[in-house]
Structure 1
Amino acid sequence: MRQATARTLLVVVLLVAGCGAGSRDAARTATPPATAPPATAAPTTAPPATVASTPTGTAGSFNPTDIAWLQLTVAMIERLLPVLDLVPARTTDPAWRRTAARVAATQRADLDRAHRLLAEAGAPTTNPHEGHDMPGMVTAEQLAALRSATGASFHRLLAGHLRAHLTQSVRIAASEQQNGVQPATVALAAAVARNATANLARLNTPHPTPPPPA
């Protein structure tokens, strides 16, 4: 029992260890390489369908890993949504608009489920990661850069931020799946990983460009 408890607490430490390091990591991933690396964190063939709501347990059935993962997932999604909200005004590219709409719908559904699970767990409603720039999070400076970018520049920055967020989501979801105990929370982590992997695969596929006018 002591070994299991120690392992759970270690995962919590690993989940929050990125505090303060996110600015450097996000800056490195804001501009994707010319050839995007394939997503290897999980299989890319899984369908992107959103998983139906799963019955939840009691507050006592959540362990520290469950709570830490839910809190970090909420913080990450809340940083990404303002980026996705910029897309309709910053680009007319239909492929990018479809991609952003698809990712936003999934993220909002995940955010709602995470909030409900945190409420059921009796966790604090405050965001423990407020003001922290962690891996996968868009910083205030990067959001300002997106607001002033258009066209290919905007697409490049958007792709980098989406890839950083989705890659980190897969990583921390894997920790929850391995060490979490609350069934609905573990199921949500599986859905997050599956949908993030599918969206990473789409990002790694070149967006079609319309043919030049005849």
Structure 2
Amino acid sequence: MRKIPLRAAGCLLLAALLLVTACAGRAPTAPAASTAAPSTATGVTAAPVGSASPGGSAGLFGATDIAWLQLTVAMNERLLRVLDLVPSRTTDPAWLRFAARLGTAHRADLSTARRLLAESGAPTTNPHEGHDMPGMVTDEELAALRSATGVAFQRRAGQHVRAHLDQAVRIAIAEQRGGIHPATTALASAVVRTGNADLAGLDRLKQR
């Protein structure tokens, strides 16, 4: 896993959960998250924790909730760049259907994650801007996709989609275990469920 600079202690909390997951090969058991902004060994203060807006999702947001939402937004934005290329790079009907369905679902998740972030009171800036993280297609990889067509494109796009889905499920499991905000952990549960189903769908595409 590539190391990246993270700008908030909430991101560090989530990264620690992911490290446990990667090392153990299973979902981590995380300590209950505090609603206070904890200090870390690096001296960075966690992302602010706020209450939901009136009429919004009930409950407080923990640092892990905010970190997961920020990372989910960044990852989905990157994946959509890949999916948006599919109609112009392949005519395979199965791939076109798969990409369209995946794009619709990820746009919906992106909208929900952005709304929850707004309710949390967290900064609207993307703390992962410019980061090349696991599950995120890089600018160089996106350029390579734009130069490919047909089966070559499908192979490369499939690799990026799989990397995204694998990582999305992994960090969503971490949020399920470490998050405290009900609507955010519910979104994470949905990501795990649909992510595993989409991985199975990708396997079927590969077998054709």
Output the TM-score relative to the length of structure 2.
0.74
Identity value in percent: 62
Alignment equivalent of 1:11, drawn from 10, 13, 16: 13
Give the aligned residue type for 2:13.
V
Name the structure 1 match of 2:45: none
Aligned to 1:24: none
Change in Cα spacing, 1:41 to 1:201, as seen in structure 2 (3 Å) is farther
Q: How does 1:29-178 map to 2 (within 5 A)?
A: 56-58=57-59, 61-178=60-177
* SS at 1:204 equivalent: helix
Q: Indicate if the aligned counterparts of 1:63 and 1:181 stay in contact, CA closer than 8 A.
A: yes
CA contact (8 A) 1:95 1:208 kept: no
Once the 2 structures are TM-superposed, how far is the Cα of residue 173 of structure 1 from its aligned partner? 0.2
Q: Is the 8 A contact 2:11 2:68 kept in 1?
A: no
Equivalents in 2 of 1:107, 1:168: separation in Å? Answer: 14
SS of aligned partner of 2:128: coil
Query: How many pairs are equivalent?
Result: 166
Deviation at 1:57, TM superposition (A): 1.8
Is contact 2:176–2:185 with CA below 8 Å preserved after alignment?
A: yes
**Post-superposition CA distance 1:152-192 (Å, at most 9, x none):** 10010011000000000000000000010000000000011
In the aligned structure 2, how far is the partner of 1:197 from the partner of 1:183? 21
CA distance in 1 between partners of 2:197 and 2:191 (Å): 10
- Structure 2: how far apart are the matches of 1:204 and 1:134? 23
**1:199 aligned partner:** 198
**Contact 2:18 / 2:170 at 8 angstroms: preserved in 1?**
no
Does structure 1 retain, via aligned residues, the 8 Å contact 2:11–2:64?
A: yes
C-alpha deviation, 1:12, in angstroms = 2.8
Change in Cα spacing, 1:13 to 1:151, as seen in structure 2 (3 Å) is closer
AA in 2 matched with 1:12: L
- Find the aligned partners of 1:88 and 1:72 in 2 and give their Cα distance: 27
Q: Contact (CA 8 Å) 2:94, 2:205: kept in 1 or not?
A: no
C-alpha separation in 2, matches of 1:102 and 1:129: 26
The 1:148–1:41 alpha-carbon spacing in structure 2 relative to 1, beyond 3 Å, is farther
Gaps of 5+ in 1: 1-7, 18-39, 43-54, 210-214
RMSD over aligned CA atoms reads 2.2
Deviation at 1:15, TM superposition (A): 6.2
TM-score by length of 1: 0.72
- Runs of at least 5 residues in structure 2 that lack an aligned partner in the other structure: 1-9, 20-24, 28-55
- Greater relative contact order, per chain length (Cα 8 Å cut-off, separation 6+): 1
Q: Which 4+ runs in 1 deviate beyond 6 A?
A: none
